[in-house]
Amino acid sequence: MKALYFDYAATTPVDPRVAEAMAACLTMDGNFGNPASRSHRYGWQAEQAVESARRQLADLLNADPREIVWTSGATESNNLALKGVVEHLRDAEQVQGPLHIITSAIEHKAVLDPCKWLEKHQNVEVTLLTPDADGLIDPQQVKDALRDNTCLVSLMAVNNELGTITDIAAVSALLNDHPALLHVDAAQAVGKIPVDVKAWDVDLMSVSAHKFYGPKGIGALFVRREPQVKLAAQIHGGGHERGMRSGTLATHQLVGLGEAARIVAEEQATDEARIRALRNKLWQGLEAIGDVYLNGHAVHGSANHLNVSFAGVDGEILLASLAKVAVSSGSACNSATVAPSYVLKAIGRSDDLAHAGLRFSLGRFTSEDDIDAAIAEVSRVVTALRG
């Protein structure tokens, strides 16, 4: 039995159509030039390819291509958004007093860690909103946490562990009469749910190509132009990307991102319906094992995510015993100790259930045979461990 891949939320395989487009940008007989080389055809062709990719991603997000800033991925985009907003206020606007950021206790570490850094180094106070038992953040929580000095609200559109979907448009509406900017980590959203920066009315949004069948190491930050959002650059050295992010652009990666965005725009609705049916079948099969708990909301969630906890088994042994099923553990390794998932703890799971939580994530290449095989293997392992 070959290993079954159920970790699409961690990364997706590059779609063969994307890989083909990328390969054409690598060698001497392809489009290998530096997009910043303006003095010859090789550079012009590379720049044209990069700008075509910018348009493809912008079209997917309902954005202006000039609002797309290339980065190395969502982690860099999150850092640029969070630190860039605060440092611009400190340096350009000469704001001296404490600033305030609102985020949630179940954000990705790529948001929580920059927030900790800003607390330590930039006199920023951070409010961590607590989700309900289903992993949802109520927009009213944001309104209740707002202060006069709140400069930024940062919430993920789709939670990376639970798959729960935040009502971003409702959060944005609550900020209409407040100067705070709204940043959305959409790494888990793009390619899984419809994403529309105009309908959501966001100021900043992070995107990662390898979450929607593009290559690793490339992503983007949406930066609203009207009204213009101003950021302090975090990487200097040439003033690329309208001064917000310097560095030679990787033509092949950006072409891959653009092609991946194009495919999502054409196929997402069909993919989502098929994947949701597979996810529901997987949940029914796992639930039948007994003493299995769904982590996250049964309705307000991504079709791609299924997070469950198995009572009566040791989490580490469970994960080690599922060598034939590639899933993500609800536990996070920290030095020599293994701590339960902070996301599962935040929604009220006990240490035992948080340790025994597994994230199954499905994708474009998941088949019905994969679902049947996963149900059989997990049932066999859990029954054996309980027995």
Q: Are 191 and 208 in contact (CB under 8 A)?
A: no
Encoding tokens for residue 375? 């149900």
Instruction: List the structure tokens of 198.
Output: 């105009």
Q: Give ∠ CA 54-57-62 in degrees, rounded to 5.
A: 115
Both tokens of 114, joined, read 């920059």
Instruction: State the amino acid at position 20 in one-letter form.
Output: E
Beta bridge partners of 332: 339
| DSSP 8-state code for residue 66 | G
CB 362 within 8 A of CB 279: yes
Residue pointed to by tokens 């796992």: 286
Q: What is the DSSP letter of 280?
A: H
Alpha-carbon distance of 135 to 345, in angstroms, equals 10
Q: How far apart are CA 314 and CA 188, in angstroms?
A: 28
The CA-based dihedral angle spanning residues 72, 259, 222, 54, taken in that order and rounded to the nearest 10 degrees: 100
Other beta carbons within 10 Å of 341: 26
Q: Which of 167, 161, 163 is nearest to 143 (CA)?
A: 167
Distance CA 130, CA 138 (A): 9
Asked if the peptide bond before residue 215 counts as cis, ω within 30 degrees of 0, the response is: no
Per annotation, catalytic residue among 25, 115, 151, 333: 333
From CA 245, how far away is CA 190, in angstroms rounded?
22
372-377 long-range Cβ contacts below 8 angstroms, 24+ apart: 372/285, 373/1, 373/4, 374/4, 374/6, 374/282, 374/285, 374/325, 375/282, 375/285, 375/286, 377/1, 377/4, 377/322, 377/324, 377/325
Known catalytic membership, residue 333: yes
Element spanning 351, H or E? helix 351-355
Report how far apart the first and last C-alpha atoms of the chain are (Å, whole number).
24
Catalytic residues: 333
